Structure 1
Amino acid sequence: MIWFLLLIAVLLLLAVLAEVIWETSFPKVVEVTIPTPKLQRGQELRILQVTDIHNLRWSEGFWQQMQGTKPDLIAMTGDLIDGANIPFDLAFSQIERLKTIAPDVLFVTGNNDWEHKRFDDYLAGLRARGVTLMDNTSMTLATPVGDLQIVGVGDACTHHHDIHQAMQNVTPDERFLLLLSHDPMIIRRGAGLERAADLILSGHTHGGQVRFPLLGAVYAPTQGLFPKYDKGLFQLDETTRLYICSGLGTSRFPIRFLNRAQVTLVKLVGA
């Protein structure tokens, strides 16, 4: 009987280990559809959100999956690197390849980006590769379905956000307004200005990394234990949605459980 129980325990341990390896090392593409009256019926805008890479290497198969999403633009919501003082070769090669998937790659910083000792060199390298840096600024982007207003804020977790500056040239109107913020808690630090956005895209939480049935995420940075805003789509009010992508990499503990690494294809569709 004891040997049988030991065998069951070993099998369960191996099953959990296999699950952790799968969830952590083999990312997927998640699709989220968001209807909006600011697009005409039949129109669709495809945004590939890539976040919290933390120097994770991707397989060729995953690259092909991302390429197959055929996005109109790529929104990167921070933590391309993990803050360690290491060369940027991997990060820059990933950026160069993402640029072949969509010409418009937009980026807001995350807390780990700011922690690197060569932060200025890092940003210069992103600019040199055609990335549009969106910290505390705004732009109007021409897309196949019309102009899109985009606002970005610096990382709120490390207090580099300035939403007043980001919004100063923005007039909410019939155009869809997209806000990029690494930390979803911009909804607590944006002085209400974030509610002008139709959609907020964030990362930072990693979906908690470790999740359990019914309980959800155990912990998320900035929010603490059992966070409310862990991953997925949240309706903040009648007009503003928040979407949190659990991202690709990990931090501190290099594991994920019941929370597979991911990028998200956000499809805005006319309603």
Structure 2
Amino acid sequence: MLTVTELEIHLRRLPRAFDGFRIVHLSDLHGKRFGEQNNGLAEIVRAQSPDLVVATGDMLDRKNEQGAAFLELARQLVQTTPVYSIRGNHEQYMADHIEEKPILAQYEQELEHVGVILLHDKSALFSRDGADILFYGITLPASAYKPHVVKDPHTCLPPEMVAKHVGVADENRCCILLAHSPLFFPSYAEWGADLVLSGHMHGGLIRLPGLGGLFSPYHHLFPRYDAGRYVRQEAVMVVSRGLGDSPFRVRFRNPPEVVVITLRTGQDQGSRLE
């Protein structure tokens, strides 16, 4: 059963013009459909009256699906709402394999053709009532998804490497970073993100009461950032449990999720502090 999770996120540098700004956060669709041509998912997203939809990677499944399901969804959403999208590990693995690279290129061209804005190591300025905020999308290298990275994520992706991908964070604007893996939250925060939107962890697949997610795509137990909201100093991160899974993965107490974020001005008082 698809669930809708609503969060209010307070950001210190958010302009007052963006107070109440609504973001629908989708992640890890993996080619799944909710209704014919994803009409069911599109209806749920539109019902949230979003100002923006973001897709934080793995919207296709590289071995089983070439992006048709997300294209079906995107065609409907862009009619009323801007859509930003980044690559996840599935897309990046395709980019790194010569036989799959043309398939990815065709898929991304079709996304851009329907109106999706691809943030591959890019930023986009969103303006509202004379004010603006910056959205950045980082394309993590395939090496950032290897199991050994868990032992020392800061060395794999230090803050200066984040800057090499997306540039230096604008100190004069609220900065929202789309990053598929949440593992590098300390580096994202140190880089200058006010808000990070991530996925990849699939909620830990099996969720245990009081303990959270059990499994990680990094092949370790009880991942630190499995789902929900996290706060580190003045940065906030929201991790989606995702919408779909690769074949043979089984979820338990972990329904697919659409995350709806309402931005508010002021200091966040969220839980799960670091």
TM bucket (normalised to shorter chain) is 0.7 to 0.9
Q: CA deviation at 1:36?
A: 2.5
How many residue pairs get aligned? The number is: 241
Matches within 5 A, 1:94-109: 94-102=73-81, 104-109=82-87
> For residue 199 of structure 1, what is the aligned residue in structure 2?
195
In structure 2, the residue matched to 1:133 is 118
Over 3 Å counting, the alpha-carbon distance change for 1:225 and 1:87 in structure 2 is: closer
SS at match of 1:248: coil
Measure, in 2, the Cα distance between the counterparts of 1:207 and 1:51. Answer: 11
- Structure-to-structure mapping, 1:164-203, within 5 angstroms: 164-168=163-167, 170-173=169-172, 175-187=173-185, 192-193=190-191, 196-203=192-199
TM-score (norm 2): 0.79
Greater fraction of residues in strand: 1
CA offset digits 1:61-94 (Å, max 9, x no partner): 4432211111111111001101125443323111
The letter of the residue matching 2:23 is: I
* TM-score normalised to structure 1 length: 0.80
Q: What amino acid is the match of 1:39?
A: P
* Contact kept in structure 1, 2:18 and 2:263, CA below 8 Å: no
Identity %: 27
Out of 209, 222, 229, the position equivalent to 1:226 is 222
CA drift at 1:95: 1.3
Kept in 1, the 8 Å contact 2:58–2:88? The answer is yes
Alignment-mate amino acid for residue 229 of structure 1: Y
Whole-Å Cα distance in 1 between the matches of residues 231 and 80 of structure 2?
30
- What is the SS of the residue equivalent to 1:179? strand
SS at match of 2:238: strand
Gap change, CA 1:267 and 1:191, over 3 Å in 2 = closer
- Label 1:94 to 1:219 Cα distance change in 2 as closer, same or farther (>3 A): same
SS in 2 for 1:264: strand
Which runs of 5 or more residues in structure 2 are unaligned? 95-99, 146-156, 267-274
**Is the alpha carbon distance of 1:58 and 1:184 closer, same or farther for their aligned partners in structure 2, counting shifts above 3 Å?**
same
SS at match of 2:170: coil
Q: Which residue of 2 aligns with 1:155?
A: 140
Q: Cα 1:62–1:137, aligned 2, differ >3 Å: closer, same or farther?
A: closer
1:253 to 241, 248, 256: 248
> Quick check: 1:138–1:170 contact (8 Å CA) kept in 2?
no
Deviations 1:177-229 (A, max 9, x none): 10000011232565932xx1110000000101111112211111237211111
1:256–1:145: structure 2 CA closer, same or farther, 3 Å change rule? farther
The alignment partner of 1:192 has SS state of helix
The answer to whether the Cα contact below 8 Å between 1:137 and 1:165 also exists between their aligned partners in 2 is no
2:131 — aligned with what? 146
Distance 1:75 1:223, change over 3 A: farther
Alpha-carbon distance, 1:230 to partner:
0.4
* Letter of the structure 2 residue corresponding to residue 30 of structure 1: T
Identify which of 203, 209, 215 aligns with 2:205: 209
1:78 aligns with 2:57: yes
Q: Which residue of 2 aligns with 1:19?
A: none
Query: 140-149 or 49-58, which moves further after superposition?
Result: 140-149
CA drift at 1:109: 0.2
Separation of aligned partners in 1, 2:84 and 2:129? 17
2:61–2:67 contact (8 Å) kept in structure 1? no
Give SS of 2:21's match. Answer: strand
Within a 5 Å distance, the mapping from 1:25-44 to structure 2 comes to: 26-37=1-12, 38-40=14-16, 43-44=19-20
Quote how far apart the aligned CAs of 1:41 are.
Answer: 8.7
Q: CA 1:96/1:257 → structure 2, altered by over 3 Å: closer, same or farther?
A: same
Letter in 1 for 2:5: V
**CA RMSD between the two structures:** 2.4
SS in 1 for 2:125: strand
C-alpha contact (below 8 Å) 1:41/1:270 kept by paired residues: no
Match of 1:57 in 2: 33
Deviation at 1:144, TM superposition (A): 5.1
Counterparts of 1:259 and 1:145, CA distance in 2? 41
**Residue pair 1:138, 1:149 contacting (<8 A) in 2 also:** yes
> Rg bigger for which structure?
1
